[in-house]
Amino acid sequence: MKTIFLALAAAAGLAAQSFEVGGGGGIQRISSRSLGSGYTLDDGWRFGFRMAFNSWKFMGQETGYGYNRTKLLADGQDQGGMAIHQGFYNFLLYGTPEGSRVRPFAAGGVHFSNFVPPGASASYGQGSTKFGLNYGAGVKVKVNHMWGVRFDIRQYMQGKPFDLPGVSGKLRLTEVSAGFYVWM
């Protein structure tokens, strides 16, 4: 009997859940950009996608991928374009209930950032991977019964890549982005 009750409760919970998927882009700002030994990172642009699973009336979860493009500088001289690949998992806390046209939210979770220097390739396992925490806020606005737009500001904090001599502190990447989403 207990098993049947749990199965029915789970099914009822699933019926109230929604799924969103979308993409977007924006800018990234880097603070604490010194990597040691005269190397720094420059600000750049970003694009990516997010998938959200709104499992409760005011809460949800999301996962996604972000591709950041920046430049590696050595003593102020451009060394070439560089990629930062990010994967993340966040909890979402909404200010309005599921089904509202406008949904402001706060987000927080964990991520990894794979820093790929000029001339290297993430597909061959090159780069320096750092794990960290992220947090931020945003708003989702329904445009019609299926489509919506979203605006995000997030900060990603992790260790500095490449373990160069003289490196200290954490690297902070700030994302300001806009995008679209579809919900099902």
DSSP string, the chain: -HHHHHHHHHHHHHHT-EEEEEEEEEEEEEES-EEETTEEE--EEEEEEEEEEE-SSSEEEEEEEEEEEEEEEETTEEEEEEEEEEEEEEEEEESS-TT-SEEEEEEEEEEEEEEE-TT--GGGT-SEEEEEEEEEEEEEEE-SSSEEEEEEEEEEEEEPGGG-TT--SEEEEEEEEEEEEEE-
In which band, very low, low, confident or very high, does the pLDDT at 167 lie, cut at 50, 70 and 90?
A: confident
Please determine, for residue 99, whether its predicted confidence score (pLDDT) is greater than 60: yes
Q: Is residue 6 part of a domain?
A: no
Q: How far apart are CA 91 and CA 52, in angstroms?
A: 9
User: Do residues 60 and 53 make contact, with C-beta atoms less than 8 angstroms apart?
Assistant: yes
Average pLDDT over the chain, rounded to an integer:
90
Q: What CATH number is attached to the domain comprising 73? A: 2.40.160.20
Could you read off the pLDDT of 70-88 as tens digits, one per residue?
A: 999 999 999 999 999 999 9
Q: How far apart are CA 53 and CA 15, in angstroms?
A: 12
- If one counts the domains in the chain, the total is 1
Contact 94, 107 (CB under 8 A): no
Is residue 176 one of the residues assigned to a domain? Answer: yes
pLDDT at residue 125 tops 90: no
Interval 4-24: pLDDT, tens: 444 444 444 444 468 999 999
Q: Is residue 47 part of a domain?
A: yes
Residue 60's pLDDT is 96
CA distance 23 to 180: 6
- Mean pLDDT value of segment 116-131: 89
Give pTM, 2 decimals: 0.86
Q: Which domain holds residue 108?
A: 18-183
In a domain, 33, yes or no: yes
- Tokens for 73, please give them: 């500088």
Establish if 29 belongs to a structural domain: yes
**Cβ neighbours, 10 Å, residue 144:** 6
pLDDT at 3 over 80: no
pLDDT band with cut points at 50, 70 and 90 for residue 46: very high
In a domain, 115, yes or no: yes
Arithmetic mean of pLDDT, 130-159: 97
